[in-house]
């Protein structure tokens, strides 16, 4: 790919210079970009050829190209199992809930931090509230474990002391939609707050001044100015996020529930399934089929979301 | 009247922000206190903000076991430094190339980079390629190269900065003075782009420091020597999970770090980030708002 682009690029010569001279003139630029382009070729483009594995009876000894085709067998097996429905349902439902909740909480937090008087205080709040965003999923799993561990968890013991018994959190599915939602929002609210705050700060201050002169309360100002002016940004981000609906935060779903099989009905997503099938149960066929669906459907979602966004506001779209 | 409403909002906002700050910090405080708790107290009463007895035993254990943890630390540092340095240079160079408006083939190359943000082969082909073609399993390359080294998104951030925030005249005048492209890049473009490079470098650095997925995919038991701190923590977690499901077989209970030692190792893992982060918070927040421009 990288080799191909060069003659192509040199082909579009300008009028003044000859092809060779043009090529030599731009050569330093191409050489500068080359390492990055090669990396993307390896890391992102070669695996695309590997998508065919989903239609093959893959074995490591025969490799990607020599493994025999088995058409749609992998997909048949995948959809005959209960896993397919569960993981797709979980991925989509969690995503939709979290996108909406994340927006509501993020905007609320952004409006509120904007109301705090005093630069130092603002900066302090921002720094602290963003902290969880920087933590790896492994660390977050330890934090959650400190509260919910069946033997030494803080909450487990508190409940034991108060009510005489406590649920075994890591074995009961009912709690996990709430736990995961809480952890996800806990981790992301600082990010959302800063993101939306930058949009709020972009609103023309004279609008608020005029409203104040007209006697509008702060509450009315937010309802009539802040929210309506944020709306286009929010809709845009909402659509762009919907484009990612087939992807899930592998770390959150894999680490935080500590891989407990009893919890899979509410914690298995496409990403965790693909990983487990590939490396834990060694079922390359099922894994590649699920991975293939995620790639293709994800691509369609992203492109569609971008098409919609670029129709409305070209500068907000990815391409 | 109006002044009053502003003050009311200020108080309400402060209260909510204090609650959020408390929620953000509380788990870390518990983690730290748990690591200083006496082992038997932790086992009988559980982790607590106010343990009956404090102890340094967990840290004594860490010091005694420093061979394993120190190696993990060293690996984390090596991987983070090499990955961030190489990745940042590649990102800056590629971003610079794409920012040149008259470059022939620029649109195609741009699309080449953007496409990687849209379409992803997924774990299975990527894993099989890295393992069977490039043989990265159980090598340090498995920790550094896959997925983290360069992202199309960050390339685009850098490209936009070169394109929009540095006046083109500066490049032109350097070239007229006879500076080569490489020189122009190092002497004009780079010094003027420290804010974006700091932001991107910080994001990459944190991604490497926190990474455990590459270790999960590309290190097996044979590669234990290459474990980073995150991989060690993950490994402890997996053993606990394994014990919980297969109580009778497999992992020996005495091989596992005790309840307080686990927390102490986690503290050792997060401490550097918590110490460094406040100084870089500015760049990090900037990165978020810049990302906001593009999805």
Distance between CA atoms of residues B2 and B245, nearest Å? 61
Q: Does A194 touch chain B (CB under 8 A)?
A: yes
Q: Among A223-237, B131-145, B230-244, whose mean pLDDT is lowest?
A: B230-244
From residue A51, alpha-carbon distances to A54, A229, A303, B121, B221 in Å are 6, 43, 19, 6, 28
Nearest to B122 among A141, A258, A291 (CB): A291
Report how many domains make up chain B.
Answer: 1
**Tens-place pLDDT, residues B262-277:** 899 999 889 888 898 8
Q: Does residue B248 have a pLDDT over 80?
A: no
Q: Does residue A3 have a pLDDT over 60?
A: no
Beta bridge partners of A293: none
State the count of interchain CB pairs (< 8 A) between A and B.
Answer: 324
The conformational region for residue A71 under phi > 0 = left, psi -120 to 50 = alpha, else beta, is: left
Q: What's the whole-number mean pLDDT along residues A3-31?
A: 65
Question: Which site among B17, B39, B267 would you substitute to test the A interface, given the most A Cβ atoms closer than 10 Å to its Cβ?
Answer: B17
Closest chain B CA to residue A289: B124
Task: Tell me the three state secondary structure of residue A81.
Answer: coil
Q: What's the whole-number mean pLDDT along residues A155-170?
A: 89
Q: Does A221 touch chain B (CB under 8 A)?
A: no
Phi and psi (nearest 5°) for B208? -70, -45
pLDDT at B62: 86
Provide the terminal-to-terminal Cα distance of chain A, rounded to the nearest Å. Answer: 21
Q: Does A242 touch chain B (CB under 8 A)?
A: no
Residue B21 lies in a domain: no
Kindly report each contact of residues A305-312 with a partner whose C-beta sits within 8 Å and lies 24 or more positions away, as own/partner.
A305/A239, A305/A240, A305/A242, A305/A243, A306/A240, A306/A243, A306/B118, A308/A239, A309/A236, A309/A239, A309/A240, A312/A232, A312/A235, A312/A236
- How many CB atoms neighbour CB A189 within 10 A? 24
Contacts of A136 in chain B (CB under 8 A): 209-212, 230
Q: What's the whole-number mean pLDDT along residues A15-28?
A: 79
Angstroms from B136 CA to nearest CA on chain A: 13
Q: What's the whole-number mean pLDDT along residues A136-162?
A: 91
Q: Among A62-71, A157-166, B139-148, whose mean pLDDT is lowest?
A: A62-71
Assembly ipTM: 0.90
Contact between residue A193 and residue A113 where contact means Cβ atoms under 8 Å apart: yes
Domain range spanning residue B90? Answer: 65-256
Q: Does B31 touch chain A (CB under 8 A)?
A: yes
Task: Tell me the three state secondary structure of residue B53.
Answer: coil
Angstroms from A85 CA to nearest CA on chain B: 19
Distance between CA atoms of residues A168 and A241, nearest Å? 34
Contact between residue B233 and residue A142 where contact means Cβ atoms under 8 Å apart: yes
pLDDT at B245: 64
- The most confident of the ranges A246-255, A277-286, B78-87, B225-234 is B78-87
Residue B113 lies in a domain: yes
Contact between residue B70 and residue B191 where contact means Cβ atoms under 8 Å apart: no
Contact between residue A264 and residue A234 where contact means Cβ atoms under 8 Å apart: no
Q: What's the whole-number mean pLDDT along residues B172-177?
A: 83
**Which residue in this structure is represented by tokens 């926190």?**
B210
**Angle at CA of residue A245, ends A143 and B286, nearest 5°:** 65
Nearest to A33 among B46, B93, B133 (CB): B93
Residue B221 lies in a domain: yes
Residue B201 lies in a domain: yes
Q: What's the whole-number mean pLDDT along residues A289-311?
A: 89
Contacts of A162 in chain B (CB under 8 A): none
Question: Which site among A139, A211, A254 would you substitute to test the B interface, given the most B Cβ atoms closer than 10 Å to its Cβ?
Answer: A139
Q: What CATH number corresponds to the domain at position B108?
A: 1.10.3720.10
DSSP B21-46: HHHHHHHHHHHHHHHTB-HHHHHHH-
Distance between CA atoms of residues A75 and A285, nearest Å? 8
Q: What is the mean pLDDT of chain A?
A: 87
Distance between CA atoms of residues A140 and A127, nearest Å? 18
Distance between CA atoms of residues A254 and A141, nearest Å? 9
Q: Among A255-259, A311-315, B246-250, B290-294, whose mean pLDDT is lowest?
A: B290-294
pLDDT at A11: 40
- Domains by residue range for chain A, with CATH: 2-59 (no CATH), 73-316 (1.10.3720.10)
Q: Chain B window 53-82: which residues touch A at a Cβ cutoff of 8 Å?
A: none
From residue A46, alpha-carbon distances to A37, A111, A253, B61, B133 in Å are 12, 45, 28, 46, 11
């Amino acid at each position: 790919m990288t080799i191909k682009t060069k003659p192509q690029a040199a082909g579009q010569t300008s009028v003044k210079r000859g092809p060779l001279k043009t090529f030599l003139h731009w050569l330093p630029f191409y050489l500068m970009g080359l390492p990055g382009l090669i990396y993307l070729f390896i890391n992102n483009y070669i695996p695309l050829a590997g998508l065919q594995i989903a239609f093959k009876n893959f074995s490591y000894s025969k490799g990607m190209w020599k493994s025999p085709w088995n058409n749609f067998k992998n997909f048949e097996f995948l959809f005959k199992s209960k896993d397919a429905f569960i993981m797709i349902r979980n991925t989509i439902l969690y995503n939709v809930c979290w996108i909406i909740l994340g927006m509501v909480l993020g905007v609320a937090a952004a409006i509120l931090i904007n109301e705090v008087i005093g630069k130092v205080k603002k900066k302090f709040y921002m720094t602290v509230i963003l902290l969880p965003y920087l933590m790896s999923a492994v660390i977050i799993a330890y934090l959650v474990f400190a509260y919910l561990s069946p033997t030494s968890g803080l909450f487990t013991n508190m409940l034991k002391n108060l009510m005489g018994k406590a649920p075994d959190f890591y074995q009961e599915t009912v709690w996990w939609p709430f736990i995961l939602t809480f952890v996800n929002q806990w981790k992301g609210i600082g990010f959302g707050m800063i993101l939306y705050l930058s949009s709020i700060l972009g609103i023309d201050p004279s609008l608020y001044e005029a409203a104040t002169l007209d006697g509008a309360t702060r509450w009315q100002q937010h309802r009539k100015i802040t929210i309506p002016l944020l709306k286009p940004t929010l809709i845009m981000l909402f659509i762009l996020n919907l484009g990612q609906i087939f992807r899930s935060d592998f770390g959150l779903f894999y680490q935080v529930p500590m891989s407990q099989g009893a919890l899979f009905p509410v914690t298995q997503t496409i990403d965790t399934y693909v990983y487990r099938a590939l490396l834990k149960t060694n079922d390359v066929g099922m894994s590649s089929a699920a991975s293939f669906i995620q790639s293709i459907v994800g691509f369609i979602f992203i492109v569609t979301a971008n098409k919609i966004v670029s129709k409305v506001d070209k500068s907000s779209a990815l391409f | 009247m109006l002044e009053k409403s502003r003050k009311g909002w200020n108080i309400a906002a402060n209260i909510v922000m204090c609650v959020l700050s408390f929620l953000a910090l509380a788990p870390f405080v518990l983690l730290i206190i748990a690591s200083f708790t006496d082992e038997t107290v932790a086992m009988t009463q559980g982790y607590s903000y106010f343990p009956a007895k404090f102890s340094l035993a967990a840290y004594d254990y860490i010091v005694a076991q420093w061979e394993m943890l120190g190696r993990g630390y060293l690996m984390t540092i090596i991987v983070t430094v090499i990955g961030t340095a190489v990745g940042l240079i590649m990102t800056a160079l590629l971003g610079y190339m794409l920012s040149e408006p008259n470059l022939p083939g620029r649109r195609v190359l741009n699309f080449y980079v953007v496409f990687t943000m849209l379409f992803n082969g997924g774990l299975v082909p990527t894993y099989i390629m890295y393992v069977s073609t490039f043989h990265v399993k159980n090598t340090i390359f498995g920790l550094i190269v896959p997925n983290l080294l360069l992202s199309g998104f960050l390339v685009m951030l850098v490209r936009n900065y070169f394109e929009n925030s540095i006046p083109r005249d500066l490049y032109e005048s350097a070239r007229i003075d006879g500076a080569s492209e490489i020189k122009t890049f190092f002497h004009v473009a780079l010094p003027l782009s420290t804010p974006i490079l700091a932001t991107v470098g910080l994001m990459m650095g944190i991604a490497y420091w926190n990474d455990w997925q590459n270790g999960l995919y590309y290190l097996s038991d044979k590669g234990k020597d290459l474990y980073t701190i995150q991989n060690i923590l993950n490994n402890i977690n997996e053993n606990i999970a394994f014990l919980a499901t297969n109580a009778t077989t497999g992992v020996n209970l005495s091989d596992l770090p005790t309840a307080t030692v686990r927390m102490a190792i986690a503290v050792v893992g997060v401490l550097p980030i918590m110490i460094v982060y406040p100084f870089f918070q500015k760049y990090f927040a900037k990165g978020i708002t810049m990302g906001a421009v593009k999805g």
